[in-house]
Amino acid sequence: RLRLHDGKLIKDRRYHLRTYPNCFVAKELTDWLIDHKEAPDRETGIRLMQKLMDHYIIHHVCDEHSDYKDAKLLYRFRKDDGTFPLSKDVKVFMRGQSLYEKLVSVEESILKVREENSVKYQRTFLGCEMIDWLVQEGEAENRKEAVELGRALLEHGIIQHVSNRHHFFDSDILYQFWINFRRRRRLTELLNENSSRALSESPDSPFCLRKLNPDPGNTSFLSVQTNKEIKIVSAVRRSSITSLAGNSNPYFSTAPAWAFPPVAECNPKSVLKRPVTNEELLSPGAPYIKKTLTIVGDAVGWGFVVRGGRPCHIQAVDPGGPAAAAGMKVCQFVFSVNGMYVLHLDYQTISSLIMTGPRTLMMEVMEALE
């Protein structure tokens, strides 16, 4: 936006006897994206601008077009006409960016390269140091308010504990800025923001499914129900199999055999009766209780399936598995994993935390009061 202002692509324009301030012509902007190597071709440029429209960053000056057309139509950045929606997420992100810029611009910054468990981390600070700085600089009135700010920054993925094991505390625990706000980003990164990660291809959490009597020639997982017949569950993607196969042969090297037609790739229907937000879970007086579960994994995992995101929920529990024995139930929400607050994370990230953590899993869950 600022570069377009500098280049005079954004300016007041007259159309049909009316002046539209601070707008740009879509066709001219597409040309600019290609000329400045922000897009390799017009099709990509259109997709990029559509992404900005979908995120309520730009819009047609009269809101007559919900999509971005590569034509002589006038569009405008919502920041230029006061219609940009300042949601809580956006406000926290902007606050984090402001604090980061302030911290890196001072000579004796608390952001330093530090080491923990023989691993060096960039842009780190102690929790108590950040609290001191926030109060000293007037960014917070007192230490309690500073802790609340730090927690909001962590919950929105701007800062994190260096090994992802703690929430934000006024202590000597080591944290770091997870986002480098000064890194020059290219617009094309927008098109990759939802690209699949190593764990995201699985329709179920790969650490949860259990397998009995693993046989390299049979790659269907078995879900065991006490005193009931065994139900075969398709191992839809290979990532589900290779993550946990079990016993002495923890990884399969062969491709999965399909137990159902390709339509089985679809995600299973959520067990939740309705969507639940973090705000609802955490609001004072909400009809939810928190429980702490200690789950000792066996040779084939922990025996549950977690789905969704922000917050994640328990989709299924193996009645004969460790999770069921620890008191886990379907429809519970995952509050923390091994001491780390995770309500703001998706199930792929939680999968990674559990897979890389200890065999004894400490989880806090929230369940609805009956």
C-alpha R_g of the chain? 25
Q: Which two tokens stand for residue 252?
A: 């399969």
Domain count, the chain: 3
Q: Is residue 93 part of a domain?
A: yes
2 and 72 together in one domain: yes
Q: Is residue 231 part of a domain?
A: no
Q: Is residue 294 part of a domain?
A: yes
Helix residue spans in the chain (DSSP H)? 2-6, 26-35, 42-54, 88-105, 127-136, 143-155, 238-243, 278-282, 322-326, 347-355
- For residue 132, what are the contacts with CB-CB under 8 A and spacing of at least 6? none
Cα 286 to its chain centre, rounded Å, is 24
Q: Which two tokens stand for residue 280?
A: 């609802």
- Cβ-count burial of 139 within 10 angstroms (0-12 exposed, 13-18 middle, 19+ buried)? middle
Q: Which domain holds residue 98?
A: 88-177
Q: CB–CB of 49/58 below 8 Å?
A: yes
Q: Which two tokens stand for residue 306?
A: 């977690």
Place of tokens 């770091």: 176
Spatial distance between the Cα atoms of 50 and 54, rounded to a whole number of angstroms: 6
Last residue of a domain, one of 177, 197, 212: 177
- pLDDT tens by residue, the chain, 370 residues: 989 999 999 999 988 888 999 999 999 999 999 999 999 999 999 999 999 998 889 999 999 888 999 999 999 999 898 888 877 888 898 899 999 999 988 888 999 999 888 888 888 999 999 999 999 999 999 999 999 999 999 988 899 999 888 899 999 999 999 888 877 778 888 887 654 344 433 444 444 544 334 444 433 333 333 333 333 333 322 233 223 333 333 333 333 333 333 333 345 678 888 889 988 898 888 899 999 999 988 877 888 889 988 899 998 888 888 999 999 999 999 999 988 889 988 888 888 888 877 888 999 999 998 7
